[in-house]
Structure 1
Amino acid sequence: MTFNLFKRLEAPKGKIRVVIDTDTYNEVDDQFAVVYALQSQDKLNVEAIYAAPFFNERSQGPADGMEKSFNEINKILALMNISRENFVFRGSTGYLEDLAHPYRSEAAMDLIEKAMASSDDDPLYVVAIGAITNVVSAILIQPEIVHKIVVVWLGGHALYWPDTKEFNLYQDLLASRFLYDCGVPLINIPCMGVCSHLLTTLSELEAHIDRTSKVGQFLLETFKGYHEDHYAYSKVIWDISTIAYLINPTWVETKVVHSPILTDQFTWSFDLSRHPIRMATFLNRDGIYKDMFKKLCGER
């Protein structure tokens, strides 16, 4: 490698350049993460948002999931009076079938353009909070961007968890495996065992989000509509962990580990000769929510 991988895995300092790759319509956490990032302009210069594919009961297939996410991103920006022009890009319409045929989507090509414009001392941070198809497609099309970016991905489960069949990871097994194999600087934030206590409730959100703002009301209504009965119900807002790490890395405890091997059975295997990545091991739930609530109420 022609760059210092260990240095790229250090916590970011100062204001950083960011793009967000998100399956925004899939759940309720992406919406919070996008708004949180856009309300953190003192730390993050968000240069673009990419729509990622997803397929579950909220879509008819990965292409439909991507298109719904694209529309959801635009809805959020409209509520925040932010223009979508040259800022929001459609991503992959499917998942990788082989490494020889990456998706040349608007998102992948824009990521390549922005990454290649990055200097060695100012890498582009790629916040990925969905299937990793768009990001891996960009790397396959232009491998040189490995030296220009740092990927911060919410994906998989903790290394000690009995499996790693997590939604973002298992949607595109081939792309997920390539991410761990390719040597890109990777900050991996697992779900179960790490982010799984990043819980909140409707009553807490109602107490701390400004319901007079359009985007605040939107977030509350989206959360409320996600579950029929909110009595003794709590929900993990997984994706805000990636934004929190970039804002204040002390809120997300991490350690450098050898990149794990992702098996066909969606389990981890280990080889101590492999390249390093940084893996999150714990997070400060209260610190993260306190910061996000302040920003959702217009404070900085």
Structure 2
Amino acid sequence: MSDHATLARFPQLSAELYQSRLAHPGHGARVIIDTDTANEIDDQYALAWALLSPERMRLEGVTAVPFSFAHHRDGLIRSVQILKQGGPANPEEKNFMGGLAGWAQRMVDTGRDPAKTLFTLPAEGVELSYQEILRVFEKCGVNPEGKVFRGSAGYLESLDTPLDTPAARFIIDRARRRDEGPVYVLAMGALTNLASALLLAPDIIDNLVVVWTAGFPSYAPFSNLPSLNLVQDKLASRLLFDCGVPHIYLPGYHVGAQLKLSLPEMEAFVKGQGAIGDYLHHLYTHNPLHEMFAITGAESKTWVIWDMINVAWLLDPTYVSTFATTSPRLDEGLYWRQDATRHPMIEAYDLNRDAIFEDFYACLASQDSKQA
């Protein structure tokens, strides 16, 4: 089946339905969190914030997403070779290195061999994420029974072959409960689970709203190649923007990138705030990406807690500033291509960093009453 034929299977939604679905839902929305929780440390913060906010959302379940940085392996090895040979000798080599330049330079500076870097593969990543979701539930004192689902062990290879998993089936089941209102999928990783659910059941797009963070703004003139969430499953990423499902796009660069935390803030507002506060502090001070990215002197550096933007958008419309636009196309080079004739979407352009973290700190401090 061609991509055109696949997309033709999706219902055409009315302007009125888009307007309704893309409006902020207020408190009490039905929510599924779709997350690559063990990828680094930001998903755990976002999930904890959601679990500690039961009066503001109805969290129906959490689905585990695969992840892997292995697609960077060959490029990283070549980039280190270029640097060891004196740096890029021509524009082609400079362009090749692109977003890998800083990573490669740190590998050179610390004397590390990129060929020996251990990369988690997708099948391992989804299982690690599943177990990490359970861990965050436990640290928050919330029972995970019937709420956590394994996703796919790999990425889409064709729009004709969706990956039928417990995660995809859970999304379908919840979306088909139309009498309970729309389901908001807070997507914090590759879109494989969500895309598979849509391909298995195209009819559900009328009762889903996807809230996804990834990539550059739709008006930016850059390739989205640096975006892990977008690049891991390119077919799934394109499907989100092409199929017509209502969606809220939250660019990571440079909107979510404002959500930086420092070690002094962790010490003052997170450490000591129950089991989950201590666990999040542990993650911050034992970040697995510090080793992989050859980051030294972490004590004086901040870290971006990217995925909190999804929860922030849902909890309070003043936390994330947005505008209405149309869904762009994502070309083969992963550049955005604008098309004013396409269906509408909402896109973020700014956020209130301090208000977001102050809300999160307040949830940690009052977690006993929230779990009562």
Q: TM-score, normalised by structure 2?
A: 0.78
Compared CA separation, residues 225 and 210, structure 1 to 2 (3 A): closer
Partner of residue 177, structure 2: 117
State the Cα distance separating 1:59 from its structure 2 match. 4.9
Letter paired with 1:207: A
Asked if the contact 2:13–2:244 (Cα under 8 Å) also holds between the matched residues in 1, the reply is no
Asked if the contact 1:92–1:105 (Cα under 8 Å) also holds between the matched residues in 2, the reply is yes
Letter paired with 2:240: L
Q: Of residues 146, 149, 152 in structure 2, which corresponds to 1:89?
A: 149
Letter paired with 1:153: W
Is 1:184–2:241 an aligned residue pair? no
Partner of residue 49, structure 1: 62
Residue pairs, 1:157-168, within 5 angstroms: 157-159=216-218, 160-165=220-225, 166-168=227-229
State the alpha-carbon separation in 2 of the partners of residues 201 and 171 from structure 1: 28
Per-residue CA deviations over 1:189-238 (Å, capped at 9, x if unaligned) read 00112111111111111101151511110000001111453332011100
Letter paired with 1:74: L
Letter paired with 1:176: S
Q: Of residues 210, 214, 218 in structure 2, which corresponds to 1:155?
A: 214
State the Cα distance separating 1:297 from its structure 2 match. 1.4
State the Cα distance separating 1:82 from its structure 2 match. 2.1
State the Cα distance separating 1:268 from its structure 2 match. 0.8
Partner of residue 219, structure 1: 280
Letter paired with 1:191: G
Q: Of residues 60, 64, 72 in structure 1, which corresponds to 2:120?
A: 60
Determine which structure has greater relative contact order: mean sequence separation of CA pairs < 8 Å that are 6+ residues apart, divided by chain length: 2
Partner of residue 49, structure 2: 36
State the alpha-carbon separation in 1 of the partners of residues 189 and 125 from structure 2: 11
Partner of residue 294, structure 1: 362
Letter paired with 1:75: R
State the alpha-carbon separation in 2 of the partners of residues 264 and 157 from structure 1: 16
Partner of residue 108, structure 1: 168
Equivalenced residue count is 299
Partner of residue 131, structure 1: 190
Alignment gaps of 5+ in structure 2: 1-11, 71-117, 291-295
State the alpha-carbon separation in 1 of the partners of residues 54 and 273 from structure 2: 21
Asked if the contact 1:198–1:238 (Cα under 8 Å) also holds between the matched residues in 2, the reply is yes
Letter paired with 1:211: G
Deviates more, 1:17-26 or 1:2-11: 2-11
Identity level (%): 38
Partner of residue 73, structure 2: none
State the alpha-carbon separation in 2 of the partners of residues 114 and 12 from structure 1: 17
Q: Of residues 270, 282, 287 in structure 2, which corresponds to 1:209?
A: 270
State the alpha-carbon separation in 2 of the partners of residues 49 and 37 from structure 1: 11
State the Cα distance separating 1:81 from its structure 2 match. 2.6
Residue pairs, 1:254-265, within 5 angstroms: 254-265=322-333
Question: What's the secondary structure of 1:19's corresponding residue?
Answer: strand
State the alpha-carbon separation in 2 of the partners of residues 275 and 72 from structure 1: 36
State the alpha-carbon separation in 2 of the partners of residues 28 and 210 from structure 1: 15
Alignment gaps of 5+ in structure 1: none
State the alpha-carbon separation in 2 of the partners of residues 41 and 150 from structure 1: 19
Letter paired with 1:127: L
Q: Give structure 1 regions of 4+ aligned residues with deviation exceeding 6 angstroms.
A: none
Asked if the contact 1:161–1:192 (Cα under 8 Å) also holds between the matched residues in 2, the reply is no
State the alpha-carbon separation in 2 of the partners of residues 104 and 11 from structure 1: 31
Deviates more, 1:153-162 or 1:128-137: 153-162
Asked if the contact 1:161–1:193 (Cα under 8 Å) also holds between the matched residues in 2, the reply is no
Is 1:195–2:256 an aligned residue pair? yes
State the alpha-carbon separation in 2 of the partners of residues 111 and 141 from structure 1: 11
Q: Which structure has greater helix proportion?
A: 2
